[in-house]
Amino acid sequence: MTSIPRPSWDEYFLQLADLVKSRSTCQRRHVGAVLVRNERIISTGYNGAPRGIDHCLEAGCLRKELNIPSGQRYELCRGVHAEQNAIINAAYYGVSTENTYLYCNEQPCIICARMIINAGIIRVVYKGEFKDELAFKLLQDANITLAKLDSL
């Protein structure tokens, strides 16, 4: 009998983040996030418009219309980032995010980094090519463990 290699926990949760991103309604970037405590999922999030608001797939992309480059002027977007939605969804259902790990298929931006710090998340595992040096430094300054997995 041939056995399939069993993924590490980091690989497993990053694969789940890739599945979560398939729900994204952003026209430019699909991102998924999974919040985990003690190897159990407590919340997920993907990037898209707030509850009850037309998604970018229906309303169009404000960033595209305004020709805003990636990584700039985050506030000019109708979407909520995947990391933010994972944190918000935990809060919505009354689940603490203290001492959790966040798995995301992109490095968090500066806005998400600040939320990650204040949410009590202690480790961020990510992949992808998005880079925000200020966010990276802020997370390091807050003693949040950062791990980039390139193998997936």
State the average pLDDT over residues 120-129: 93
109 marked ligand binding residue: yes
Per-residue model confidence as pLDDT tens digits over 84-121 = 999 999 999 999 999 999 999 999 999 999 999 999 99
Query: Would you name the residues annotated as active-site residues?
Result: 83
Q: Where are the domains of the chain?
A: 9-48+80-148
Torsion-angle region of residue 142: left (phi > 0), alpha (psi -120 to 50) or beta? alpha
Instruction: Indicate whether this model's pTM tops 0.85.
Output: yes
Q: pLDDT by residue (tens digit) across 26-51? A: 888 899 999 999 999 999 999 998 88
Q: Report how far residue 34's alpha carbon sits from residue 83's, in angstroms, rounded to the nearest whole number.
A: 8
Could you tell me which residue, 27 or 82, shows the higher pLDDT? 82
CA 35 to chain centre: 9
Q: Is the CATH number 3.40.140.10 carried by domain 9-48+80-148? A: yes
Asked if residue 81 belongs to a known ligand binding site, the reply is yes
Share of the chain above pLDDT 90, in %: 67
- Write the DSSP assignment of 5-39 as a string of letters: PPPPHHHHHHHHHHHHHTT---SS---EEEEEETT
Distance CA(28)–CA(61), nearest Å, equals 8
